[in-house]
Amino acid sequence: MLSFSMVSLLATLLLGISVQGIPQAAVPSATPSAAPASGGPSGGGGGPPITGGGKPPGTGNPAGGESPSGSGIPNVQNATNAQCVPWYGIRDAIMGGLFQGRCGANARAAIRLAFHDAGTFSLALQAEALPNGGADGSMLVDPNEVLRSENNGLQTIVSLLQPITAQFGVSPGDVLHLAGVLGVLACPGGPLINAFIGRAPPANIAPMGLLPDPNSPIDVLLARFADMGFSSRELMALLGAHSTGTQSFVDPAQANASFDTTVDIWDTRFYTETADATVLPGTFKLNSDVNFAGNATTSADFSRFIGKQAIWTSEYAAAHLKMSLLGQSVDDLTDCTEILPESIDILSLAVTTSTGGGGGGGGGGGGGSNSNKPVTDPTIDPVKLEAAIEQFRSIWLVPATT
């Protein structure tokens, strides 16, 4: 229920973004991976403080030990919480069976789906004890909810996730929101977000008319997100999920245009390029994103993430975690963050220059030999990037065909 625009994220992360061409992959009969553990803090039951972000990228789980290959993928044999044991297999069914370990169409659709599932939550409805939306998985249950116009493009990812709930006998809300967390991690640079399980089945379908519209005025969008419990600063952090987003329905003539020039990398280039007046080839700017970048109320929070990967990913992780718990009581859930792989640190993958600094970013990133703009977003070395994916997502990758 949030849309890929979390106004954009939630509005296109809620409205306009559609991921198309998603393969109809069969849901595998997954077994927990045999890779030794490392990645994700030790899980525990109950309700730990909601701080977001999990462990810092690049640190392992001391209880599990690092694998010989340094994959950073936790092994069920090193599980610390018995309630989390089944979720290693579910993790593999999603990250391997549906995403193939990469930031492709299915992973990006799962992120958008998580926003749409949670984005109809309302504090006002909660206060009146009225039927409410929330992070409950209703998108996987009601056959009509996914057919709403604001959910265009989500039908395939819904059809791929639905069998997993029956196969493993778990709640749709847990499957859907684990998929959203794993979708972020499938994208290099995406942060680790704490993963909770134990959501009850949805009590009702999501109310209509609550998903943000990317063409709404800024004050209307801010008020809607406030009704979900988000501050302006949290919303600006959530918008950054457009870093790996595309649109197909806001302007069908530009279907599959991305919101920045590095759609397969979770980086701050979205902020840099949205704030720049130039519209780069192959990219698309949502009205709400442009308005947020320039509005007096939101521009400072929007701009503070330009070129600040560590700050943005930390704040995004906390806001996404909060979103994944809308309508839930964390005291009734179990923290199974221990199943998650490590985040891929993209800053260590930057192209280096003769002076040892990061290479200039392309379009909107600044820098480069023919640019007077300061470097804000380093260029990622594609060889280093692929090597990192093969190291940290190894067990889920589809072997290359010869």
pLDDT for 239-251, tens place per residue? 999 988 877 777 6
* Per-residue pLDDT, 15: 38
What 3-state class would DSSP assign to 34? coil
Task: Tell me if 180 is assigned to a ligand binding site.
Answer: no
* Per-residue pLDDT, 353: 53
* Per-residue pLDDT, 22: 32
* Per-residue pLDDT, 328: 97
**Could you state, in order of their start, the residue ranges of all structural domains in the chain?**
4-213+309-347
Q: Which helix (H) or strand (E) holds 10?
A: strand 9-13
* Per-residue pLDDT, 385: 96
Task: Tell me if 138 is assigned to a ligand binding site.
Answer: yes
For 357-400, the pLDDT digits (tens) are 444 444 445 544 444 455 578 899 999 999 999 999 999 998 86
Task: Tell me if 213 is assigned to a ligand binding site.
Answer: no
* Per-residue pLDDT, 251: 65
* Per-residue pLDDT, 87: 98
User: Mean pLDDT for each consecutive 10-residue tract of the chain (402 residues)?
Assistant: 39 38 37 36 31 35 43 94 97 98 96 96 97 97 93 95 96 98 98 98 94 88 97 96 79 76 91 88 84 94 95 97 97 98 95 50 44 68 96 91 54
122/20 Cα distance (integer angstroms) = 29
370 CB burial (10 A radius; 0-12, 13-18, 19+) = exposed
* Per-residue pLDDT, 324: 98
- Active site includes 177? no
Task: Tell me if 260 is assigned to a ligand binding site.
Answer: yes
What 3-state class would DSSP assign to 44? strand
Annotated catalytic residue within 91, 116, 320, 393: 116
- Contact of 366 with 376, CB cutoff 8 Å: yes
Task: Tell me if 136 is assigned to a ligand binding site.
Answer: yes
DSSP 253: G
Of 97, 112, 109, 117, the C-alpha closest to 156 is 109
CATH class entry, domain 4-213+309-347? mainly alpha
Task: Tell me if 243 is assigned to a ligand binding site.
Answer: yes
How far, CA to CA in Å, does 31 sit from each of 61, 79, 88?
Answer: 21, 14, 8
